[in-house]
Amino acid sequence: MCALSYTSAQTYFIGEEDSMYSYKTSGVCARTINFDIDDNGIITAVEFDGGCNGNQTGISRLVVGKPAEGHYLRQTPHKLPDQLARALQEAIDAL
């Protein structure tokens, strides 16, 4: 069963059994970032909706298996890594 609940203005929690989140981006080519965080706070999946595949694939492979909080640099507010960092922080704050 899938339920949608808000964790902030941009991050949504999808499902009761899943830990899937969806973040509406701003100022980047991807429209949304969907990601899973397990019970230990580890990123288990990252998917981008829209945008160019190369950068997104690299970012996804770098962060899967890493902790969801703590070490993501926010260099520029309108870059995909920054948007992912914001999404992860909002999800962690909502836990």
pLDDT at residue 5, as a whole number:
40
pLDDT at residue 26, as a whole number:
85
- Vertex 92: Cα angle to 86 and 93 (nearest 5): 85
Mean pLDDT of 28-37: 90
Higher pLDDT, 56 or 95: 56
The enclosing H or E element of 3 equals none
Number of neighbouring beta carbons within 10 Å of residue 51: 16
Higher pLDDT, 13 or 49: 49
pLDDT at residue 27, as a whole number:
84
Task: Give the tens place of pLDDT for each residue, 34-65.
Answer: 999 988 889 999 999 988 888 888 888 989 99
